[in-house]
Structure 1
């Protein structure tokens, strides 16, 4: 009997042509020092006692929602818990964009899941630039946004670390009232909390803030995020979201992570990581093999090297960082802020590059 191949004719054209998001963990790499996924170097010890896993969980666990609302200084009806911020992105596109008709605006280079999500839902990409976002006026930005239904602003931006002033986000949202939703992705906001747009929710019904426990909270393996917005905007999201998106186990761990003492510990770790980042930036600027350092916010530093082969050598030695093609050049590298021992491996690599010059 001849084995039949799967007929691609069954696939919609947009899915057949889809370029999947390539995450740091999707690449089957081997190494000893992992600084490629913007993970926290701090691991947690969790204690769980659950005897009711035979029952479906609360779709939006009250204790977690209440705890995060308190942390974000919002009302609990302004918070929706999601499976990472990625589900928040998907829910916004699926809920507010018409397939084959609408578009989303984003500012490149930026987080790749905005494009992948739009492509998978047959929603057009209005590709703008980070230069426009950072240097253009709000009027210029709104003109470029045009009829796009969603406007994604990653703040701080991944992978550049740049931040957009709240006054500009506010001006964009005001100009787009009743026209578009401004989505502020704050995956890295704990590293610069004064930049949060959550305070703008009291004045705007067309702003959404996306958050995660993956970065500063050191729970990347939990896949937990939050969508913050006003109740009218969230109402249709609540209709579209899966009936049981949050497992009881995830809810228990998230609840522990949002206790007052755990938040204090998280902030202490952020202070340590920000200090370590300052040191790493200095090392990079002193390295003759490094052409440019993007000194932005977040638990990472993105740099351009003179020679791409130096990146390959680091990877081959077991020092795993994230190579990027930015601005049509393939010699960029994003380095996550690890612990003291991990960053010492980066220092050794940089010292070796200096010795070659």
Structure 2
């Protein structure tokens, strides 16, 4: 039986929050294991030196050293960069700034990153859910017609969890068609794994394109929670109005500035080359395995596949191997494997081999 306080909270909650299904992150599942390949984290770790700046003072809301370093890295002007608490805050800022509650909508292409939906639901903004197939295969006029009157159109590129990639020409054409009616938000959390496909170069010609970036993936700083929203100043000016007064801590700014040094960017790129090579090896193993029905070809530091039998996931857990199960296309036998280091991927190979060994062959007879 609930307390009176429980009833009070429920009475005060807006309906959209009471009905909200929170985002379930890989780390929220409270699993146990020894090898973690479920959250698209980098296997690399680097030590950073803290400067010992006085923490009794509030930080620079937008640390200029970091803004300048990131603008140099991506090739835009500093005034085209807003630093946020992960790219997730950029998503939330865009919805909160440009969408009116109970009136406006956003468009997404499912299956895709779950925080677009959660953010829309949180702000009581309608969701126009279109398909990845439409985005990848449809004509631009068809896509934009189905987008309807959505204020924001989110394109996760490369897409999570499928790895699918939309070309720059198509993004540009969609932005041109939606000029004056919608912002095209290109979420590039995984773009360092295919940097030549970035939409950042389109900012010069399309005022309604926004690019979201993060240091969580290729830069191996998932624990720092640092992201960037890139756009023209006409878009960023209203975002700055609603941004929290001090969104970036002194410690975070200090580490981010170090991560964006010339030497560390070069190190990140070498690590990306290694991870891309390891990913190719993993894809080969998966394609050759009798335990796997389908492997999605795509970009990013992960591979998504369909298993012949989802009981294979339980076997992985028994071996201490934690990967991310998904329900995709109405089927619950999908799995996303983050690209770990060589030793971690050898454990994936051992798991795959165990699935089709003499003890488990019966699982996969069809």
TM-score, normalised to structure 2, is 0.96
Match of 2:227 in 1: 225
Q: Could you list the runs of 5+ residues in structure 2 that have no partner in the other structure?
A: 362-366
Instruction: Supply the distance in 1 between the matched residues of 2:123 and 2:314 (Cα, whole angstroms).
Output: 35
1:336 to 331, 338, 356: 338
- Shift of residue 3, structure 1, vs aligned partner: 4.2
- Stretch moving more, 345-354 or 258-267: 345-354
Report the 3-state secondary structure (helix = DSSP H, G, I; strand = E; otherwise coil) of the residue aligned with 1:26.
helix
Contact 2:51–2:254 (CA under 8 A) maintained in structure 1: no
Partner of 2:228: helix, strand, or coil?
strand
2:63 corresponds to: 61
Correspondence for 1:299: 301
* CA apart distance, 1:18: 0.2
Specify the alignment match of 1:112 in structure 2.
Answer: 114
- The aligned counterpart of 2:44 is 42
Note the alpha carbon deviations across 1:77-129, whole angstroms, 9 max, x for none: 00000000000000000000000000000000000000000000000000000
1:121 aligns with 2:157: no
One of 91, 98, 101 as aligned partner of 2:100: 98
CA shift at 1:4, angstroms?
Answer: 2.6
What is the deviation of 1:317?
2.2
Matches within 5 A, 1:235-254: 235-254=237-256
Aligned counterpart, 1:4: 4
* Cα root mean square deviation, aligned: 0.8
Indicate the SS of the match to 2:246: coil
Residue number among 300, 306, 327 corresponding to 1:325 in the alignment: 327
Q: TM-score, normalised by structure 1?
A: 0.99
Runs of 4+ in structure 1 deviating by more than 4 angstroms, as ranges, are: none
* SS in structure 1 at match of 2:315: helix
- Per-residue CA shift, 1:241-264, capped at 9, x if unaligned? 000000000000000000000000
User: What's the CA shift for 1:51?
Assistant: 3.3
Q: Give the deviation of 1:6 after TM superposition.
A: 1.2
1:140-219 superposed matches below 5 A: 140-219=142-221
The CA deviation string for residues 274-299 of structure 1, in whole angstroms up to 9 with x for no partner, is 00000000000010010000020000
Deviations 1:49-80 (A, max 9, x none): 22311000000000000000000000000000
CA separation in 2, counterparts of 1:228 and 1:51?
A: 28
Whether the 8 Å contact between 2:106 and 2:128 is mirrored in structure 1 is yes
Residues 343 and 163 of structure 1, relative CA distance in 2, 3 Å threshold: same
The number of aligned residues is 356
The residue number in structure 1 matching 2:364 is: none
Listed as ranges, the gaps of 5+ residues in structure 1 are none
Counterparts of 1:140 and 1:224, CA distance in 2 = 36
- In the TM superposition, residue 315 of structure 1 has moved relative to its aligned partner by 1.7
Superposed displacement of residue 5, structure 1 = 4.0
C-alpha distance in structure 1 between counterparts of 2:174 and 2:25, whole Å: 30
**Is the partner of 2:170 in helix, strand or coil?**
helix
SS in 1 for 2:179: coil
